[in-house]
Amino acid sequence: MSAPAVRRPNVPLTAQDEADLALLRSSTAHLQALARLTPGFSPVEQQLSEAHLLHCVLAAGFEAVRRSVEAAGYEELGAQYAEQGEQRRRIARRRSPAWAQEP
């Protein structure tokens, strides 16, 4: 973590959460995937504290949510652009061509 902690809340963990955390600790592939999702995390840090590992997983979750929001925004912009394109084509069809005004 590069920023100081503001608070340390308790996090309830299920049996599946515990199994997933154990897999993260033991699997190089999972640690590398976590590193790709979490800026500032290095998979070389094999001896992570539980709090640091949970923070990395939380940061990766926030990053995934951020990407999902961005993707939804881009989809919305794409739909608006497509709709505006159809409107522009309809308007352009009503205009007379530039060469029609020539003497």
- Residue 61 tokens, joined: 């979750």
From the list 86, 8, 85, the residue with the least C-alpha distance to 49 is: 8
Q: What is the pLDDT of residue 99?
A: 75
pLDDT digits (tens, 9 = 90+) for 22-65: 998 888 898 888 888 887 777 665 577 888 889 889 989 998 99
Tell me, yes or no, whether 12 lies in a domain: no
- Residue 81 tokens, joined: 């652009």
- Residue 9 tokens, joined: 């809340």
Q: What is the pLDDT of residue 45?
A: 55
Tell me, yes or no, whether 102 lies in a domain: no
Tell me, yes or no, whether 82 lies in a domain: yes
pLDDT digits (tens, 9 = 90+) for 6-18: 888 888 999 999 9
Tell me, yes or no, whether 50 lies in a domain: yes
Tell me if the pTM is above 0.85. no
Tell me, yes or no, whether 2 lies in a domain: no
Tell me, yes or no, whether 15 lies in a domain: no
Instruction: Give all strands (DSSP E) within the chain, no chain letters.
Output: none
Range of the domain at 44: 22-96
From the list 16, 7, 19, the residue with the least C-alpha distance to 51 is: 7
* Cβ 1 vs Cβ 52: under 8 Å: yes
Structurally, how many domains does the chain consist of? 1
Q: What is the pLDDT of residue 74?
A: 94
